[in-house]
Amino acid sequence: MNMTTRVYKPEISRCPVCNSKLFYRYTVSNKVIQFSSGHKARVKNLGYSCTNKECRCKDVIFTSQTASKFCLKGYTYSAKIITLITVLKKKGISREKICAKLALMGIDISDRNIDNIASKELSLLEQDYKENIKNEYKFMVDNYGQIRLSIDSLVVEGIRCVSVRDSFHNHQIGLHLFDKSDNEGVLKLLHDYVDDLNVKSITTVRKNTGFFKLLNQAVNRDMEYICFIKY
């Protein structure tokens, strides 16, 4: 069977702190991912780093935020499948029904795996994201003098899932669900993330999307936006 291989490099080519060119170091992840279309693809996420020995960023391995967003650490299912499982479980749908629904989409997954994924993701939804913001932002400012975020939005089954990570180490800062039409709720949440003036860069969805318009409305100042690569 021939399988597509998709290779991703970081979206930035220069070090955000000293502006030196980033160089390839090693492949951070290389795994076969199952997508919601039922197709599988091998995804390689290449790690780059700053080679300036004096730079405070010299130990950071930069990866593709696009690859990290749809191929979540620890999973071999795409972020969309993970979100679908989380949303259905949150709606009280039984794991047998979720399993049957996914089978119809051409995705093989066991009941037990559905439970494991759902319990892990539901616990992320319960996290104290404001506490995470405090800690992760302090860590980024102390170590790199700036905050760089990756903010993704996925809509499944009428529910919008907003996921926020730091762009230096891919730590998950928050995971949130909203009714698809609840723009006010999303806007209020985005303010919690973007109002800190140390936020210098946001990797996110394309500019022609409704979500980007909401994000840009919340930011309301100069911001470096980096788009996820189309895949």
Widest CA span of the chain, in angstroms? Answer: 55
Which position among 7, 13, 14, 18 is part of the footprint of Zn ion (CB under 5 A)?
18
Which position among 6, 40, 41, 55 is part of the footprint of Zn ion (CB under 5 A)?
55
**Distance, CA of 88 to CA of 40 (rounded, Å):** 22
Which position among 40, 44, 52, 171 is part of the footprint of Zn ion (CB under 5 A)?
52
Which position among 8, 9, 12, 15 is part of the footprint of Zn ion (CB under 5 A)?
15
In whole angstroms, the minimum distance from the beta carbon of 26 to Zn ion comes to 18
In whole angstroms, the minimum distance from the beta carbon of 13 to Zn ion comes to 12
Write out the binding residues for Zn ion, residues 63-122 only, by CB under 5 A. none
Which position among 50, 72, 81, 161 is part of the footprint of Zn ion (CB under 5 A)?
50
Stretch that binds Zn ion, among 12-20, 111-119, 128-136, 165-173 (CB under 5 A): 12-20
In whole angstroms, the minimum distance from the beta carbon of 11 to Zn ion comes to 16
Q: How many residues does the chain have?
A: 231
| Structural element, H or E, at residue 29 | strand 22-34
Residue 196 DSSP symbol: S
**Distance, CA of 140 to CA of 202 (rounded, Å):** 14
In whole angstroms, the minimum distance from the beta carbon of 50 to Zn ion comes to 3
**Distance, CA of 66 to CA of 83 (rounded, Å):** 16
Give yes or no for residue 202 binding Zn ion (CB under 5 A): no
Which position among 22, 57, 67, 114 is part of the footprint of Zn ion (CB under 5 A)?
57
Closest among 53, 66, 62, 54 to 16, alpha carbons compared: 62
Quick check: helix, strand or coil at residue 164? Answer: strand
Residue 127 DSSP symbol: S
- Which residues make up the interface to Zn ion (CB under 5 A)? 15, 17-18, 20, 50, 52, 55, 57
